[in-house]
């Protein structure tokens, strides 16, 4: 029983490598937006999140009415 281990063989790729392979490419516009958001304060990020949530709620409500 000395040769028994609890470690599974994860295959040839490690999990981060698989995640990078399936990730979408980041274009320059999205990268610039991400950099701007990173410079925001926490309070500004909360306001931005609130605005985004309200906009998505408005879009979802309008989509239900169209159906």
What span, in angstroms and rounded, lies between the C-alpha atoms of 31 and 12?
30
pLDDT at position 50 is 95
pLDDT at position 5 is 52
Its sign, for the CA torsion 36, 29, 51, 46, is negative
pLDDT at position 51 is 94
pLDDT at position 39 is 92
pLDDT at position 49 is 92
7-66 pLDDT, tens digit per residue, is 555 555 555 555 555 666 778 888 888 888 889 999 999 999 999 999 999 999 888 776
What span, in angstroms and rounded, lies between the C-alpha atoms of 67 and 64?
5
pLDDT at position 18 is 56
């Amino acid at each position: 029983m000395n040769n028994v281990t609890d470690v599974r063989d994860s295959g040839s790729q490690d999990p981060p490598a698989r995640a990078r392979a399936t990730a979408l490419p980041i274009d320059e516009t999205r990268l610039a937006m991400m950099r701007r958001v990173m410079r925001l304060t926490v309070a500004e990020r909360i306001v931005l999140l609130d605005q985004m949530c309200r906009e998505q709620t408005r879009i979802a409500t309008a989509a239900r009415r169209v159906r």
